[in-house]
Chain A
């Protein structure tokens, strides 16, 4: 079945440093979605990428979808303590079933 690999599993950064998490699918995706889960909370939708090579920005967050639609990345510039949480990518490959990566847990040291 479809697999979505996400690395790294954990990332500790000093406040102000940049952060990137990478997502790689075993199959070509229709779209990829990114979610953020704060400690003790539930996943919250951040963004969806649909087109090959698409790049979207939300303030300090930059999301990219690969040309082959099999990989994606989330980059945070100048991290803040409010960025703490686990970031999940989730890929859709022609069905109703999203396949989630295992997530990258971000810790920000003040």
Chain B
């Protein structure tokens, strides 16, 4: 069964703690993405990676970090430096053929609440 998995679905953390969200895909896609979704704000790009061991900042990278050590995995760490971390986080992947006709497949998302 191919797809993108994100776990857990709901996550609670205390303020000041770092937290890592997992994202795994078995679609053999080269490109992976992290988005943040807030009510009425649409999707905003945090980080993306076009290939293993390489990643680029998106529009709202401050307070976040990522790694891409394996093609299948693209974990996102929400650090204590992120001022408003409570949000719905979506991971996506695409074939990564060059972006021109690349469609993105989304995981189910993780809803992070920082208390």
- The contact of B59 among A1, A95, A103, by CB within 8 Å, is A1
Contacts of A44 in B (CB 8 A): 106
CA distance in complex: A41, B107 (Å): 9
On whether A102 and B58 interact (CB within 8 A), knowing A48-B101, A96-B99, the answer reads no
Closest to A48 in B: B103
Q: Are A9 and B40 closer than 8 Å at their CB atoms?
A: yes
Contacts of B58 in A (CB 8 A): 97
Min CB–CB distance B98 → chain A (angstroms): 8
B13-21, B43-51, B62-70, B77-85: which lies at the interface:
B43-51
Interface assignment of A50: CB less than 8 Å from any CB of chain B: yes
Q: Are B41 and A102 closer than 8 Å at their CB atoms?
A: yes
Contacts of B103 in A (CB 8 A): 33, 45, 48
Mask, B30-44, CB within 8 Å of A = 1, is: 010001000011111
Q: Are B101 and A31 closer than 8 Å at their CB atoms?
A: yes
CA distance in complex: A27, B99 (Å): 17
CA distance in complex: A92, B33 (Å): 15
Min CB–CB distance B55 → chain A (angstroms): 11
Interface assignment of A16: CB less than 8 Å from any CB of chain B: no
- The contact of A96 among B41, B48, B90, by CB within 8 Å, is B48
From residue 61 to 110 of chain A, which have CB atoms closer than 8 A to chain B? Answer: 88, 90, 92, 95-103
11 further contact pairs, Cβ within 8 A, besides A45-B103, A48-B103 = A9-B40, A33-B103, A42-B106, A42-B107, A42-B108, A43-B104, A50-B100, A96-B96, A100-B35, A101-B42, A102-B41
